Chain A
Amino acid sequence: MKDNFINLVKPLLPKTDYCSFRFVSKYTNIISATRGVVEPVIMSEDDGLMVTVFHNGGFGYGATSNLTQQGILEAVESAKEWADFSKNKLTYRPDLSKLKNQTGSYYTEEEDGWSKTSMKDKADYLLSVNKALKSQPTISNWGASMRFNKIETLFIDTNDSYVRQKISYLLPQIIASAEHKKEIQTRTFGGHAHARQIGYDFIDQINMVQQAKTLAEEAVELSKSPNCSDQITNAVIAPDQMILQIHESIGHPLELDRILGDERNYAGSSFVTPEMFGKYQYGSKLLNVTFNPTLESELASYSYDDDGTNAERKYLIKDGLLVRPIGGLLSSQRLDLDHVACSRASNWNRPPIDRMGNINLEPGEDSFEDIISSVEDGIYLQTNNSWSIDDKRNKFQFGCEKGTLIKNGKFAGVVKNPSYRGITESFWKNLSKVGNSESNNILGTSNCGKGEPNQTIFVGHSTPVCLFENVDVFGGI
């Protein structure tokens, strides 16, 4: 979006109590190779605008992909009409004086390696990853892909705010399935976890070809392994499963719009109630969780949210004690609680709601080796492949791709289909060791669904390996 475009649209901001224009320009490119064949390459360009109007106690929005002057004026009119209709009919009337002028920018630090690398080179690389995946004869399905997203937003409002942000992220993915006696086992890399704000050199860093060889070997090993047995045991959970555990049983239950009932018809509410902030012991004293939009390369790092609120790192849980919810500047006025900059929208065509950004479990002091050697009897769980939790974010059941038994502080064999279930309110109190910064991984998922109308958004989770006691672990049939 060029400056002359800004100059053209700025006069279209209507004279209402408050109005903002949020332009979004999104570019997506997905390249994949499956079972040795390059699949149709997809590129997508998506430009649009959301107009938000608060006026006389009403609220409305108008969103359009028509960025001509006429299209923008029609969106303004829609927003004003809904604001007029909803006057005195709103769930709450926000204090607009809290919205201040914001001026600033944010850019992902990367050297635009994606566009400098040709489509052919990317496709050839993925074919070489495919070749490495099919290194074992019993591999029944294999594939690799790269997804690149670039999202540019421009936010202006009647407070004379001007915020420009450009986020680009990369999601590499690999899958290998092996079949043994009609039993199919799968190992993946990247699927739910490895999205980062990072340049194309990340592909070299992670060495997808080497990853592919390892995954293929692990899939074959898993397909011949025994089922995980039912047991109450110690579980050492790897970062690529911890990301899901944090996301579902800390991130979502702390979202303020859930606590206040907005999501009760769809994504659900929360076992957390407003009175619990500042008083409730969420987990053991080792549990420290932050809302941190400042960590370099993490997926949901930014300087401002989609309401133009300045973003900063804040504790959600400190020494196990629940401190504050994930509520945006306007939403948190409903409880008079401190806010975080989490009012986010999936695109120009959806309104901002309370959302996770980067929700991080802060590292502790134990090395990975020390944690494993401290376990007399237990299991090491890697890579999420199934997730389910109740509408109050309490009773959960998560499945992992790979389990490795631990006996007397040493690994003692692989088991397939490991799952575990528990209750959020008791589970985090059994957190007994938190890995140090060397075991910490910066991870992120690009597909968190929530909201009415529905929205899928990207969120980050940085986490070390963790040890939990008394976990209800079980296997397949």
Chain B
Amino acid sequence: MKDYFQKISDKLFNSLENHEVLVLNFDAEKTDFVRFNHSKIRQAGNVNQATLTLNLIFKKKTLTSVIRLSTDFSKDSVLLLRTLYYLRREIPELPKDPYLMYERNINSFEKNIIGSKLDNYSITGNILDNCHALDMVGILSSGTIMKGFANSLGQFNWHESESFNFDWSMYTESGKAIKQNYSDQEWNQETFSSLVSESKEKLRVIDNKEIILKPGKYRVYLSPSALNEIVDMLSWGGFSYKANKIGSSPLHLMEKGEKSFNKIVSFSENLSNGISPKFHSDGFIKPEKTELIVNGKYVNSLVSPRSALEYSVNHNAAEYYEAPVSIHLNEGVINSNKILETLKDGIYISNLWYLNFSDRNNGRITGLTRFGCFMVENGEYKGPINTMRFDETVYNVFGDKLVGLTDKSQLLMDSSTYEERSTYSSTIPGAIVEDFKMTL
């Protein structure tokens, strides 16, 4: 596919007229999706898709067209040259774009894979064999993801990866559930079998009569998955330079220096795990690490090239949406093997669900508990809890009410597949928080 992208790019670049610049972004995937319910196959199939985004730049004006490709060179050539002609015809109608910025330096690099290691029929068979006596529901997404960048100035970047993401839940007859995820580049039957055994044991433990919680404040342990849901809400503008300027950031008071987090809280955008491409859609190369919050203080935002021009600041190669793609929260000192003892009396929250703002100005968030949450009494498991709604500010969760973070973090691969498979990830520890407010 890389060769095809290079060939079609050359075809387009050779068709440019004087003073035109063309910026291309290529996205493709070949994925098998297998959906399960009740440990059987609900829907299974293959998706083979490729897309080219053409951004024509001429006399400080810009116009973009996103074209689905067949990857048949002669067929696509006709379509893409027609598109280029259309962009050329329409672009004079538009006003100049005062915030237009694209990389003029050449920074070419590639990340390739050699050979396929995933047999998706064999993986599906292994899943069915391990789960046949259980009530399992979930999705296997497995295959190759390809992303490329090229511009008419001579830059070429390629990022290719082959991976699977199996995201699943297991249910008891009474409706109690445990959620798990297994994602990697090679499927290991032993690893998967041990994860299923772990799920079975957890499911056996929580399959008791529900304890009905009353609204009130609770000491809670938030697992890495649960805490990641709250971190995800911070990403709705919290780390965006523009959102902080226009006031739609849930952290705008923190960015102004009026609020802070606990000193043990340090966030960064960290691309060192190599899951997301390091090139920006306008050709800039992203820094390996950008410190966002250090020791509880807001130090940097993610700044896109457009924001840089609008607000006269330097950018750090953030995409236009200015949200993290690989956020990292530093570990703390709570022994990850002694969570129940450290929590002592409270609620162990495995997962949170459907979060949204209840007061964005003040960083207040609501959402619900889901999957395998239970009460802990005197450091021991007491019993599963009913679904509860919480309503709490991030300044409590990461601030005064934060007891501590665990000493081990977890790499959480985003299993999202809207339009295409996500290449986002996060690395998050667990947290113990006091006075976590449950409302309904």
Contacts of B141 in A (CB 8 A): 453
Contact assessment for B138 and A265 in the assembled complex, using a CB-CB cutoff below 8 Å = yes
A59 partner residues in chain B, CB cutoff 8 A? 41, 43-44
Majority SS at the chain B contact face: strand
Query: In the complex the two chains form, is B41's CB within 8 Å of A89's CB?
Result: yes
- Are B70's CB and A66's CB within 8 A? yes
Q: B138 contacts A38, CB within 8 Å? A: no
Q: Is the CB of A455 within 8 A of B418?
A: yes
Q: Answer whether A477 and B40 are a contact pair too, CB < 8 Å, given A61-B46, A74-B48.
A: no
Interface flag for B214 (CB, 8 Å) = no
Bound: A264/B70 CA distance, A: 35
Closest to B99 in A: A37
> How many interface residues does B have (CB within 8 Å)?
84
Chain B proximity mask over A381-416: 1 for CB below 8 Å, otherwise 0? 000001111111011010100000000000000000
Given contacts A63-B49, A186-B248, contact A90 B42 (CB under 8 A): yes
The answer, among B32, B75, B93, B366, for a CB contact under 8 Å with A120, is B93
B45–A90 touching, CB < 8 Å: no
Is A399 in contact with B70, judged by CB distance below 8 angstroms? no
A353 to B42, CA, bound (A): 11
Kindly state whether residue B372 has any CB partner on chain A within 8 Å: no
With a cutoff of 8 Å between Cβ atoms, the chain A residues found around residue B138 in the complex are 265, 452
Q: Which residues of B contact A183 (CB under 8 A)?
A: 361
Choice from A45, A82, A476 contacting B65 with Cβ under 8 Å: A45
Chain B, Cβ-Cβ closest to A25: B68
- Given A261-B137, A419-B358; A38-B247 close (CB under 8 Å): no
B-side contacts of A120, CB under 8 Å: 93-94
B422 to chain A, nearest CB (A): 9
* A261 and B45 contact, CB distance less than 8 A: no
Residues of A within 8 A of B114 (CB): none
A75 at the interface (CB under 8 A from B): yes
Question: A262 to chain B: which residues have CB within 8 Å?
Answer: 35, 37, 42, 137
Please determine whether B37 and A390 come into contact, CB atoms closer than 8 angstroms: no
Q: Does A280 make an interface contact (CB < 8 A)?
A: no
Q: Is the CB of B440 within 8 A of A421?
A: yes
Instruction: Assess whether A279 is interfacial by the CB under 8 Å rule.
Output: no
- Tell me, yes or no, whether B167 is within 8 Å of chain A by CB: yes
In contact, A452 and B38 (Cβ under 8 angstroms): no
Given known pairs A455-B418, A476-B361, the reply for A388 and B366 (CB within 8 Å) is yes
**With an 8 A cutoff between CB atoms, is A226 at the interface?**
no
For A394, give the chain B residue with the smallest CB separation. B387
Distance in angstroms from A16 CB to nearest chain B CB is 14
Task: Give the nearest-CB partner of B364 in chain A.
Answer: A477
**B299 touches A (CB below 8 Å):** no
Q: Is A205 an interface residue (CB 8 A)?
A: no
- CB of A38 within 8 A of CB of B359, answer no
User: Is B298 in the interface zone, CB < 8 Å from A?
Assistant: no
Q: Which of A28, A41, A62, A177 contacts B46 (CB 8 A)?
A: A62
A350 to B141, CA, bound (A): 13
Contacts of A42 in B (CB 8 A): 64-66
Binding site for A on B (CB under 8 A): 31-33, 35, 37-38, 40-51, 55, 62-72, 75, 83, 90, 93-95, 97-99, 121, 124, 128, 137-139, 141, 167-169, 171, 177, 179, 246-248, 252-253, 256, 258, 310, 353-359, 361-362, 364, 366-368, 370, 387, 389, 391, 393, 416-419, 439-440
Given A266-B167, A417-B359, 9 additional A-B pairs, CB 8 A = A74-B48, A90-B41, A119-B94, A264-B171, A351-B45, A397-B389, A452-B138, A453-B31, A456-B419
Identify 29 residue pairs between A and B in the complex whose beta-carbon atoms are under 8 Å apart, listed by A's number. Answer: A35-B310, A37-B98, A38-B95, A40-B97, A48-B68, A65-B69, A65-B71, A66-B70, A68-B72, A79-B46, A82-B32, A89-B41, A90-B40, A91-B38, A123-B93, A123-B94, A141-B246, A264-B137, A353-B43, A386-B357, A390-B354, A395-B368, A397-B356, A397-B439, A452-B139, A452-B167, A454-B416, A454-B417, A477-B359
A-B pairs with the 5 shortest C-beta distances? A61-B45, A184-B247, A476-B359, A452-B139, A141-B246
